[in-house]
Amino acid sequence: MLEIKNLTASIDGKEILKGINLTVNPGEVHAIMGPNGSGKSTLAKVLAGHPSYEVTGGEVIYDGKNLLELSPDERAREGVFMAFQYPVEVPGVSNAQFLRLAYNEKQKHKGEEELDPLEFKDLLKEKAALVEMDASFMSRSVNEGFSGGEKKRNEILQMAVLDPKLAVLDETDSGLDIDALRIVAEGVNKLHDPDKAVIVVTHYQRLLNYIVPDFVHVLSGGRIVKEGGKELALELEEKGYDWLKNGNGKSGSAAAK
Amino acid sequence: MTTELAQQENKYAAAFDQVLAAQTGEPAWLRSARESAFAEFSASGFPTVDLEEWKYTNVAAIAKTSFEPVLSANGTSLGKQDALAPYSYPETSHSRLVFVNGIFRQDLSDTSDLSAGIVAVDLNEAASDKKYEAVLRRAVEREAQTNGFVSLNTALFSGGLFMQITRDHVVAAPIHLLFVAEAQNGTAPAALPRVVIHAEANSQATIIESYAGSGSGAYLTNAVIDFELADSARISHYRLQREGAKGFHVSTTRAELGAKASYETTSINFGAAISRHNVEVRMDHEGAECAVDGLYMVDESQHTDTHSVIDHRQPHCNSRQLYKGILDGKSRAVFNGKVFVRHGAQQTDAQQTNKNLLLSKEAQVDTKPQLEIYADDVKCTHGAAVGQLEEDELFYLESRGINPTLAKNMLTYGFAGEVIEKIKIESIRRELDEVVLNRLHSEFQLES
């Protein structure tokens, strides 16, 4: 589904990603972990097409297409979704308006039926239940005045409505209390199926107790320095990231310097 | 002085003679107010860019155009069925007072919802009535915001309106003052609407003041609207300026607030080739509060200017101001917002914000928030911003599959929405939302 080959990217001329290789197949859950500044959020944003980041080399093939050639909105309509670490407030536009517009853009793209406000209301009600969101949030401006946890739940609600093939969760666990974490994680798990893939970007292991990864990749200094199964996350929780800096990472990546 | 200007001034002089001849029954105070106003206008004419307050707004086009001042009701095609429908709102179908070219038209108005607790009479008639003299004199002789336009209006106004909301009375229906300019037979009318609104103690009302042009010709609206709110009166005021593309609009809103009175005004400025709005709220009694908000949205070569004064003269008064601007094409906007906190006006709480969104590189804004504080125990903030849409906001919408144009429109719509949502009348809000979306040529639809 997704193949990242030797991807390099920079922001304001500063190289952040220094050659990422990653393959994600349908049905898989991948965790990208790493210390602050390792480039894990950059990887998420580059996949979504954030305009501040410049891809300087490598390629990303998604569903047989060159993902890097698509604009952010085209990527979204093709089924790529990123849950933001810091969801943006959009004053004056209601959540329901915004979601229906996004939903219909995607339906149009797929040649499927668009929904009028009443029909969409039913769909929204069903999806909102997944993340235990109250109907009152739908008439409020997008993310405006939402608490940190409400914003993250709103991200997962958007994911539920847009039904992406590839979901990238960028530090969705940050700023969540334990109940919100559970709600968000359960929402993600309910949406997951064998045709879809999830990439969970996180600093901590705790989200991975709920969204259990098939693979864990550890990023450091813009490279993947260690890979393993879900047990790697537990090892990191115990030993911290410093342990990897002492030559315990993959030799292949370290040598690429 | 150019010949054009001289001819035009002769026209105003002739009009003034006509007014004096027609209004022989007017009380002496009003006649003398008109005479001194016309003397002032004759001496200084319309303001020029040499004056600090008019530095960015050149009204030479108004001074040079041969406008015909409208002094009495003329023929109108607006009497036909549904002719006024495009300018009307269902919430005010029985509380609508119509003015054509500035002249109040009882024949086109429907005031059946305004039977109790409210007086609405011709301004000249009211001026001759002793019981209204004091309040009318205070309004007509008010010096705040006086300039060539106000002087000309005072000298010439005819067919204006006096409205009084009776003590303790709550007017349920919103009152719509509908000003339509109608340029007929190739003439360019100068409408000179004059309205005095007196809210007696503890009364409440919602006033909609809307301007529209019914034809495609040039015209001038030069309006002066005075409010006086007695103690604990509450007025919500929505001013909707949607003049025609060749219209010129200059208007002055002045409000005097009594103790614990509340005045909330939202001004929408969408129309006219050149528009200028002077608004001044004076709080000369304790515990008064006001919100003076607005939105201007201009395109092509439109020019819009708002000069606002909020005057805290006594302790314990609050003011809030949010003005937003959206500029496209080669349009230009001016915002000048003064907030005065006078000596002794302790415990003043004043907030002022002006935000501008530039949708084109050629659009230009001059914004100047001015805070002058002469008291030491006050809470005041102010700020101004001019900018483009935020990249992060655009990316957020695009990352949900919304194309860049639509994303831009949604954000612009949301930007305007923060002001539009202050208007508590559903059909007006909806109409304004639609205007914003049409301006953006957006495929983004409103929820039904």
Q: Does any CB of chain A come closer than 8 Å to the CB of residue B181?
A: no
Q: What integer best gives the mean pLDDT of chain A?
A: 90
Residue B2: pLDDT band (50, 70, 90) is low
Per-residue model confidence as pLDDT tens digits over B281-318: 999 999 999 999 999 999 999 999 999 999 999 999 99
Residue B124: pLDDT above 80? yes
Per-residue model confidence as pLDDT tens digits over A2-22: 999 999 999 999 999 999 999
- pLDDT > 70 fraction of chain A, expressed in percent and rounded: 95
Position B442 scores a pLDDT of: 63
Q: How far is CA B115 from CA A188, B25, B170, B275, B412, in A?
A: 61, 28, 12, 35, 42
Looking at the DSSP assignment, which residues form a beta bridge with residue B210? B178, B240
Position B131 scores a pLDDT of: 94
Q: Can you tell me the mean pLDDT for B271-280?
A: 97
The token pair at B249 is: 């609009």
Instruction: Indicate yes or no: CB of B410 within 8 angstroms of CB of A72.
Output: no
What residues of A are in contact with residue B396 (Cβ under 8 Å)? 84, 87-88, 90
Residue A251: pLDDT band (50, 70, 90) is very low
Is A61 exposed, middle or buried, given 0-12, 13-18 or 19+ CB atoms closer than 10 A?
middle
The whole model's pTM is what? 0.85
Position B82 scores a pLDDT of: 84
Position A94 scores a pLDDT of: 87
Instruction: Indicate yes or no: CB of A88 within 8 angstroms of CB of B403.
Output: no
Position B186 scores a pLDDT of: 79
Q: Can you tell me the mean pLDDT for B17-45?
A: 93
Residue B424: pLDDT above 60? yes
DSSP A42: H
Residue B144: pLDDT above 80? no
Position A256 scores a pLDDT of: 35
Instruction: Indicate yes or no: CB of B407 within 8 angstroms of CB of A162.
Output: no
The token pair at B81 is: 């069925």
Q: What integer best gives the mean pLDDT of chain B?
A: 93
Quote the number of domains for chain A: 1
What residues of A are in contact with residue B413 (Cβ under 8 Å)? 92-93
Q: Which of B395, B414, B421 faces A51 most closely, judged by CB atoms?
A: B395
Number of Cβ within 10 Å of residue B272's Cβ equals 26
Q: At what angle do helices B391-398 and B404-420 cross, to 10 degrees?
A: 120
Per-residue model confidence as pLDDT tens digits over A178-229: 888 999 999 999 999 999 999 999 988 888 989 999 999 999 999 999 999 9
Give one DSSP letter per residue of B233-277, joined into a string. -EEEEEEEEE--TTEEEEEEEEEEE-TT-EEEEEEEE---SEEEE
Q: How far is CA A123 from CA A117, A129, A140, in A?
A: 10, 10, 17
What residues of B are in contact with residue A97 (Cβ under 8 Å)? 447
Per-residue model confidence as pLDDT tens digits over B206-227: 999 999 998 888 999 999 999 9
Per domain, the residue ranges of chain B are 3-285, 389-448
- pLDDT > 90 fraction of chain B, expressed in percent and rounded: 82
**CATH number, residue A20:** 3.40.50.300
- pLDDT > 90 fraction of chain A, expressed in percent and rounded: 69
Residue A241: pLDDT band (50, 70, 90) is confident
Instruction: Give the structural domain span for A145.
Output: 2-255
Position B443 scores a pLDDT of: 62
Position B185 scores a pLDDT of: 72
What residues of A are in contact with residue B402 (Cβ under 8 Å)? 73, 76, 101-102, 105
Residue B348: pLDDT above 80? yes
Residue A257: pLDDT above 50? no
C-alpha distance from B433 to closest chain A C-alpha (Å): 11
Per-residue model confidence as pLDDT tens digits over B49-95: 999 999 999 999 999 998 999 999 887 888 887 899 999 999 999 99
